[in-house]
């Protein structure tokens, strides 16, 4: 994909160290299966813990699946969903499930501009009440949010005081409160130390086959080539080490440790790049980590400390690092803007929207990555249009992809058939 930042020839051989994200990067999710799991969890959480009426949330297969996309904002205060162009203009908007006209958009948002646009361009994280949907994981939150907005609006319109959104809480219901309740269920789903693993995220690492796809033979060979070429290869994920090991065993095999020099879990991206937090050795949690040791696993940490540790590990004063991940917010943007690393972005939408040749041989890719069921969420769809272009103009997300990544590819298999480069971008 073309980029202002990208040089024409991106060459992985120029880097001394290559870091990999796990979820959505080395682990290819089966999104429909994951969405169903999370949707079920959130529905149960909202009804059991927050006392919502289950009849106000549509069953997963009857729900508004097309809304689960990547590359828009949720105005959590007003219950609106906003697709924004690269100049800050709100191009498409929905209140719950209802499309908003241009006049309506302008009446709510002066000049039809995203109010926090400049802030977003600078930091690329959610700002004020504008929650950024940067990855597919949050799709079911939005789907359920639109169900409950419909319920609130019906309640207000019909003036039926007896029809409460919740069984036990019938006052003070706001869109913001509903969003906060859904989001607290989302955080609960990802709880790294749950008392009960059933139906939670951690269960995927124990039973991964329904939700993820193992790495191809070509990709595994390519990863080993990186190490054979004396690159420092590391894994850095916000998931726990326990989760990561379970997944790596499934996608790479029992020799998964041979693919990496070391691993970091609970990195807490993007704050990893800006906070100060010590590393923890997962084998000896009381030990002070003064150096990185080969084949070992760590948790937490931060960029400032990591820079020194990586220098010692590689024996280089300033090793050149490439980081590969699927999130603009958590991976590409902070890696390039804060750490000044190289950033390679995994963007499945490129395959579905035809940014790459449909001929797998021309792409050097050995398989089609996104199946037909997931294409609805990943590529252009009737609700959101294209991830890249709307009305002939770059979306905000497409603009940031170009500005914050050195190269974007649909999946690692698109480069795993090549030698260690250079590859021509665009
Ligand atoms: Mg990821």
- Identify the domain boundary among 171, 205, 239: 205
Q: What is the distance in A from the centroid of ligand 1 to the CA of 268?
A: 11
With beta carbons less than 8 A apart as the criterion, state whether 280 and 261 touch.
no
Question: Residue 370 to residues 29, 32, 132, 354, 376: CA-CA distances in angstroms?
Answer: 9, 11, 23, 12, 10
Beta-carbon contacts of 291 under 8 Å, excluding residues fewer than 6 positions away, are 309, 312, 313
Domain count, the chain: 2
Distance between CA atoms of residues 149 and 140, nearest Å = 14
Q: Are residues 189 and 312 located together in one domain of the fold?
A: no
Residues 65, 51 share a domain: yes
Name the pTM for this structure: 0.92
- The domain containing residue 100 runs over which residues? 32-205
Domain-located, residue 4: no
Query: Are 244 and 355 in the same domain?
Result: yes
In a domain, 2, yes or no: no
Distance 87 CA to ligand 1 centre (A): 27
CA 250 to ligand 1 centroid distance, Å: 17
Q: Is residue 348 part of a domain?
A: yes
Question: From ligand 1's centre to the CA of 329, what distance in Å?
Answer: 10
Same domain, 189 and 248: no
The answer to whether 46 and 185 have CB atoms below 8 angstroms apart is yes
> For residue 78, which of 51, 115, 43, 103 has the smallest C-alpha distance?
115
Answer yes or no: do 20 and 97 share one domain: no
Residue with tokens 């260690």: 420
Question: 282-290 — which CB contacts under 8 Å span 24+ positions?
Answer: 282/241
Q: Which residues of the chain have pLDDT under 50?
A: 2, 4, 159-171, 358, 421-426
Shared domain for 166 and 87, answered yes or no, is: yes
- Say whether both 59 and 100 belong to one domain: yes
Question: What separation in Å is there between the alpha carbon of 394 and the centre of ligand 1?
Answer: 23
Distances (CA, A) of 114 to 118, 150, 258, 280, 357: 9, 23, 47, 40, 34
How far is ligand 1, taken at its centre, from the CA of residue 21, in Å? 6
Q: How far is the CA of 27 from the centre of ligand 1 (A)?
A: 8
**Distance in Å, CA 326 to ligand 1 centroid:** 5
CATH of the domain at 270: 3.40.50.1000
E strands present in 206-302? 212-213, 232-236, 262-265, 279-281, 296-300
pLDDT at 11: 86
Shared-domain flag, residues 24 and 38? no
Residues 22 and 39 in one domain: no
**Residue 78 maps to a domain:** yes
| 50 in the same domain as 161 | yes
Task: Give just the sign of the alpha carbon dihedral 370, 373, 375, 377.
Answer: negative
263 C-alpha vs ligand 1 centroid, how far in Å?
15
d(CA 258, CA 114): 47
């Amino acid at each position: 994909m073309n980029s202002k930042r990208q040089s024409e020839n991106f060459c992985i051989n120029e880097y001394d160290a290559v870091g990999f994200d796990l979820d959505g990067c080395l682990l290819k999710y089966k999104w429909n299966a994951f969405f169903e799991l999370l949707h079920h969890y959130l529905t149960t959480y909202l009804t059991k813990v927050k006392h919502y009426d289950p009849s106000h949330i549509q069953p997963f297969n009857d729900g508004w699946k097309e809304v689960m996309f990547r590359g828009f904002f949720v105005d959590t205060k007003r219950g609106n969903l906003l697709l924004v162009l690269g100049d800050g203009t709100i191009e498409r908007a929905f209140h719950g499930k209802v499309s908003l006209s241009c006049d309506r958009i302008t009446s709510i948002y002066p000049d039809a501009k995203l109010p926090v646009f400049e802030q977003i361009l600078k930091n690329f994280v959610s700002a004020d009440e504008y929650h950024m949907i940067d990855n597919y994981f949050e799709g079911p939150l939005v789907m359920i949010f639109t169900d409950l907005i419909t319920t609130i609006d019906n309640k207000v319109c019909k003036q039926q005081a007896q029809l409460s959104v919740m069984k036990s809480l019938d006052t003070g219901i706001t869109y913001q409160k509903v969003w906060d309740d859904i989001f607290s269920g989302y955080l609960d789903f990802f709880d790294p130390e749950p008392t009960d693993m059933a139906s939670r995220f951690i269960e995927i690492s124990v039973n991964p086959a329904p939700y993820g796809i193992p790495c191809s033979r070509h990709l595994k060979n390519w990863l080993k080539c990186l190490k054979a070429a004396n690159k420092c290869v590391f894994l850095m994920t916000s998931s726990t080490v326990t989760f990561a090991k379970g997944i790596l065993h499934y996608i790479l095999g029992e020799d998964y440790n041979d693919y990496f020099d070391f691993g970091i879990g609970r990195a807490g991206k993007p704050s990893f790049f800006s906070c100060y937090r010590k590393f923890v050795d997962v084998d000896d949690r009381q030990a002070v980590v003064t150096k990185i040791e080969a084949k070992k696993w760590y948790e937490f940490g931060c960029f400032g400390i990591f820079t020194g540790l990586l220098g010692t590990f590689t024996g280089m004063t300033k090793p050149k690092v490439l980081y590969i991940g699927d999130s603009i917010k958590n991976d590409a943007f902070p890696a390039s803007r804060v750490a000044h690393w190289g950033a390679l972005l995994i963007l499945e939408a490129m395959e579905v929207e035809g940014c790459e040749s449909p001929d797998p041989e021309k792409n050097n890719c050995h398989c089609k990555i996104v199946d037909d069921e997931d294409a609805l969420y990943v590529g252009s769809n009737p609700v959101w249009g294209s991830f890249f272009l709307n009305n002939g103009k770059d979306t905000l997300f497409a603009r940031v992809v170009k500005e914050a990544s050195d190269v974007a590819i649909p999946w690692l298999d698109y480069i795993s058939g090549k030698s260690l480069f250079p590859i021509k971008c665009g």
